[in-house]
Amino acid sequence: MLNIKYELATTKKPKPDENNLGFGIYYTDHMFVIDHTEGIGWHDARIVPYAPLMLDPAAMVLHYAMESFEGMKAYRLPDGSIQLFRPEKNAERMINTNKRMCLPSLPVEDFVQAVKALVETEKDWVPHQDGTSLYIRPFIIATEPHLGVRTSKTHQFLIICSPVGAYYSTGINPVKIFVEDEYTRACPGGTGFTKCGGNYAASLVSQVKAHDLGYEQTLWLDGVEHKYVEEVGSMNCFFKIDDVIYTAPCVGTVLPGVTRMSCIELLKKWGYTVSEDRLPIAKVMEAAKAGKLEEVFGTGTAAVISPVGELRYEDQVAFINNGEIGPVTHKLYETLTGIQWGKMPDDMGWTVKVC
């Protein structure tokens, strides 16, 4: 159990227009900070006014990308209370990420305690409008000033919050996806399963390419053969072909998404066949030609459930469900958001009350 000290802001920022939040534009009044020092462990947990960090220019995070992060949300319920969605899953994933990245981790209970404490402090920032939430960004950075490549002796773990609307400007309307066949995102033994900034930095070249071609995101193929579908820039991806729902297996190169996991659990509960076998992109494009690619959607904390309306692979273009949201995608969206925003009973036991 953390002993969190509070230093509250004396002035509060004006709240943004809830109808126009966008994603990751506004930040709340406070942040959570805790330090880690080799030989001492975690110390000085605090909630302090949101402010720029003081970092030595030689801090290792700035040179060797020694950092990791998480993404989660707090939701405003119809009765005004606030809840989180499976926060322990984010804590567990961060521990797995940090092992790979040689970063220290907070125990699950301390991580969840810190998130709850900050959200409760920022409760007035959790927006009320439909489809809005408070995005929570826990992250850890290596702070030791040192230019040799080795693990850092000091780290800082922080949590910041941002009131958000939809991640894509298209909202719940289907996105257009470009299948990347030149660059790779992840290889066996690499960091593909982690939430480290480097994975995202290395993906931008393809995102720029996709944008230039008129597509919103990149669908990555496996890094060895460029043959099997893996994940989209900021989402896991599902394909419904001939009544089977496929998503890439989490075997080290795909992010084990909390929304992905929740969708699989819901789909299985509803009696769908879910396959986590590797799915060749050729099979996806053939299915599209044969009229059997019924639905494609992405899942993620930021993106929620995002229908895909178009896939471009090499010189082939697949249009999915006439560019409309399909019935399974719609049911998943309604159920998941219903549970998250407290508009449906949480039969799965996924939500955690904050205040």
Footprint on this chain of ligand COI (rule: CB under 6 A) = 71, 200, 234, 300-302
How far apart, in whole angstroms, are the C-alpha atoms of residue 185 and residue 179?
A: 12
Task: Choose between 125 and 168: whose C-beta lies nearer to ligand COI.
Answer: 168
Smallest gap from Cβ 301 to ligand COI, in A, equals 4
Cβ of residue 257: shortest distance to ligand COI, in angstroms?
7
User: What is the Cα–Cα distance from 24 to 206, expressed in whole angstroms?
Assistant: 21
* CB closer to ligand COI, 306 vs 329: 306
In whole angstroms, give the CA distance from residue 301 to residue 133.
11
- Return d(Cα 283, Cα 279) in angstroms, integer: 7
- Report the nearest approach of ligand COI to the CB of residue 201 (Å): 11
Q: Which two tokens stand for residue 161?
A: 């919050």
Task: Tell me which residue of 44, 63, 50 sits closest to 157, measured CA to CA.
Answer: 44
Sign of CA dihedral 57, 60, 64, 68: negative
Q: Which residue has the tokens 């789909």?
A: 267
CB of 24 to ligand COI, least distance (A): 7
**The pair of three-digit structure tokens given for residue 299, joined into one six-digit string:** 């899942």
Q: Which is nearer to ligand COI, 121 or 199 (CB)?
A: 199
Q: Which is nearer to ligand COI, 200 or 272 (CB)?
A: 200
Cβ proximity to ligand COI: between 137 and 278 the closer is: 137
Which residue's Cβ lies closest to ligand COI?
71
Length of the chain: 355
To the nearest whole angstrom, how small is the minimum distance from the Cβ of residue 120 to ligand COI? 21
Q: Which of the 8 DSSP states describes residue 243?
A: T
Q: Which helix (H) or strand (E) holds 295?
A: strand 293-300
Task: Compute the least distance from the CB of residue 322 to ligand COI, in Å.
Answer: 27
Beta carbon nearer to ligand COI, 32 or 139 = 139
